[in-house]
Amino acid sequence: MKKYCLILCIFSLAANAFASTQAIPLKKGMSYQIATAELRREGWSARTMHVKSEFTFIGIENTLLIHGVKGIESCAVDRPVCILHYTKRNMCLRIITWGEEFNELKVDNWDRQCPTKDAL
């Protein structure tokens, strides 16, 4: 019985390690609309943000919300940069976008960082 538990644990760890190394279908400069469609096709979904706080969206954040963008952590006031979060199973994906208008929004960078607890 212990052998089976050990094998199951090892298999589970290996599966999680493989899942976290899967390629993300993003490219720097990619249109946000194309990127989000690719992410949805790969099983990613926008993470709900600011549910537990009294966060008020302003500026381009409101524009993004009007266009149905979800997963917004925040957008800078002094430059056209926004941070969006996605999730897939137990994995996190943070996307940094660049652009002042929804139709011009481009992927600038991304990583596997999860949002901070105060942003949820």
* Residue 107 covered by a domain: yes
* Residue 72 covered by a domain: yes
Domain count for the chain: 1
* Residue 91 covered by a domain: yes
* Mean pLDDT, residues 22-47 taken together: 94
* Residue 39 covered by a domain: yes
Cα torsion 10, 11, 14, 19: sign: negative
Q: Which residue has the higher pLDDT, 21 or 109?
A: 109
Q: Kindly report the average pLDDT of the chain as a whole number.
A: 84
* Mean pLDDT, residues 91-112 taken together: 96
* Residue 16 covered by a domain: no
Q: What is the pLDDT of residue 21?
A: 52
Q: What is the pLDDT of residue 40?
A: 96
* Residue 106 covered by a domain: yes
d(CA 15, CA 106): 32
Q: For strand 45-46 and strand 72-75, is the pairing parallel, antiparallel, or unpaired?
A: unpaired
* Residue 99 covered by a domain: yes
Domain around 115:
26-119
* Residue 5 covered by a domain: no
